[in-house]
Structure 1
């Protein structure tokens, strides 16, 4: 039985055309700067965003932590939303790898605005951490796939510059934001000192991320990548997948957003499901199960029995994610399975597995 996997967009598999591009990739030693396909990808992405340079990395966690290490020294502090991936799902890396304190802030939809940040920069005193960096996430993950308005990015950017802070964007799903938000890569890049993007989510690549910034910063970031164990050799095969995705998989993200809205609309009609956002902006759908129905983990087990994998986030909360491997027919199959699971009941089902799914 084929499983419909809605746990995350990280589960995507390379298409046949992407596999062919990987097979035919021209490769060299990337640590020596001699992999032509990696070099091509880095130039391609830097030009796309209007940045001076880019560095290919193994994962979004790695590229984010390269940025933290680049902008901060041990004892510094970064400001970030309390639901962000950097502070929740990167294994305490800011502290472990860079000696950096994470100061979390609230804000609707996983987003920060100037009103959330004002008054949070510590005074210059030997007793305190030095507030050095602001990190945003676009789209938001636990915030429900929300897209920052460009005006809000520009507002936060101007505030951070005036406060003397560096600015980093976790753009794990930035291409979803670009498609839904109707702004350009260069407009976003103009708001930040560094940006990380991910190729292994909606773009459908097996591996890969990228950090973008100035040439001077990326030279330092390349050294940090090596320090963190991320120096790759013949990685052109991975870069070829990313090039193919950028050429063929960006515009189709709108299909994923449509499927997410269709899924949310259908789930809203089912008794026992609540808490779906009134507007689904990208490819993430969160919902709550009524307590009398059962837990998220129990529901996930019942759905798996029906050929659908979903993401229990703990308690009653569930996340489902649409992506390149999920069709319109899969959405309808999922809704049929959910209706059947709720009708049959699963409250007495033994609890197996756990959540949350971080990405």
Structure 2
């Protein structure tokens, strides 16, 4: 740090997409506030999906935006401008005391082609990492459920991942696949639950066995089909049938992370309330009466678990392993059935008190692991 007590911290993150990214980031920010207790922290957010946001508005690097108008050769022109212009002035991260990559998938098929690889990792972090500590926290793997790799086979992906792992003085992972793939690349990483687990650390949901069963629904049960021939209609009909069974015995509500999910929920059952939190604080308030959950968004399941609410997750890819890391049930959507999901939800309700205590204990353990790992890395 400089002469003041202000800790300027750059966060490579996703902004204004859905609350899942906010929950990841808030969990990390809470850890950093604890590690740097006694110091003021200024967070500098860099939206990786707008990677040129890493540079000030007047920086020549923004000329790269003009390549979108080229009829061809845009990729190579963009990389050339990135290499040249990035040297003509400092980035917004140059004045930081610490840089943190905030969760989300880091390993996936074709990850070396991500839009932030060149401007953020290669041009900025590659220049700064020897003088500014870089942390990669809650990194995850995202591969098709039916094609889980034992190693990173794409040589370009492997080269990219070895590079960014080498830049980071600490990488923590949120799932076992990410841990094994990092090990295959030569980097040993601690496995700690996703930081979204800590986003609402000061709160606990109060719903008992008569609380609300919250349902988070996505079309096709996930972001991508991954060529696995997932039938969205089958999943939709399964959820409708499940709702029909559960609403006779329990209070139900939809938990939505996006406008699309909010509208889809209306089509599934217009009689049920729809919750659409916009902030981490709203999240914990709106789900305060939840007893258990069924989630397609794994961050929904993890954040609910952080409030002591056990969930079952249904998805399409290895992000489900985040849920496995906190000891909760999950189903690959093609293997799920109405009977199995109903039984799982009822079982979670029956043993809710024990699950709640276990999850809150795990939350305390994860908090301690993150705080100690970060403190040790920057010492």
Looking at both structures, which has the greater relative contact order when contacts are Cα pairs under 8 Å and sequence separation is at least 6? Answer: 1
More helix by share: 2
Q: Same fold judged by TM-score > 0.5? A: no
Q: TM-score, normalised by structure 2?
A: 0.35
**TM-score normalized by structure 1?**
0.37
